[in-house]
Amino acid sequence: MLNGRKRFITALTGLALAGSVGFVPSSPAQAEPDIDDVQARVDRLFHEAEQASERYNDAKLELGELRSDLDALRADEKRQDAKLEVIRDQVADSLVREYSGSATSAAGQLFVSDDPSAFLTQLSTISTYNDLQGDLLTGYTAEVEALDLRRDATEARADQVAQTEEALAAEKKTADGKLAEAKDLLDELKAEERRELLSRGSQRVPSDVPASGRAGAAISYAMAQVGDAYVYGAAGPNAFDCSGLTMMAWAQAGVALPHSSAAQYSSGPHVAEGDLQPGDLVFYYSPISHVGMYIGNGLIVHAANPGAGVRVSELHSMPYVGAVRPG
């Protein structure tokens, strides 16, 4: 028993000595990063950042529509308020004519409220209420209700604007955070390894793409941007995100597209993969968060990600969802 205890202590001492002189193998955390593992993690982060960025683009489109609606509602409310004031004065004048002398003065004391609903309540307390001109009173009541509806709608739309602005800030923060994580991972690699990783998936730029007319103009613009930087939310002239590139490319052909990959998916008739033509927009992931432009021979031109920029890739380099033909 004593000999066994000595052997156990000796073994522990040997392990401690090996650790003190560096004989214990290095931990995985100290090992060189595996480039394939880094690529998978960077691709995931780039994709998550792009998803957030495209949601940001969607929120910007929604915010623009909400603000336009809010402006229209406020203008309508102002017109309604002015219209109501005219009828209010007509009702007040009609009431005053029903009184004379001290009664006029007493009735006049009722007309101090600027609030339409309060004024209507004051009217109901007057003994000659039923003697008023029916059309004026009915009109005033209807206009008060209409104004209340417009005010409620305006307040609701203002709340939507505030919520959308909060969503914009959140998506921007998410995209920036994912991009920073990806950059930190890339910084762990040596320069040559970074170049190798970021060049993966790129294809040789074709010298000529057979297309003419509107599609030819869109393709010509997109191909001229190959090598430009990818920046979230950008739409040129020297940097783009995926939907920013396709939007600007088709703008050269006189076709207006929204700055959103999901919205662009509804911008024209859908086409089957077997019927793809150069210039068609091709979409990826579910939910849709990336768009490129088909250029023929199984290739697309697209703003890929912040590491690769605008480049040519294979059609199925990402999970393919479908295609649309703009114009």
User: What residues pair up with 240 in beta bridges, in sequence order?
Assistant: 230, 235
CB 312 within 8 A of CB 301: yes
d(CA 220, CA 252): 9
d(CA 44, CA 285): 12
Closest to 273 (Cα-Cα) out of 324, 327, 228, 198? 324
d(CA 201, CA 22): 41
d(CA 257, CA 249): 10
CA 156, chain centre distance (Å)? 20
Residue 77: both structure tokens together: 């409310």
Under DSSP, is residue 2 helix (H, G, I), strand (E, B) or coil? helix
**Cis-peptide, bond into residue 287, ω within 30° of zero:** yes
Q: Report DSSP state, residue 252.
A: T
Known catalytic residues are 242, 290, 302
User: What residues pair up with 236 in beta bridges, in sequence order?
Assistant: none
d(CA 183, CA 42): 8
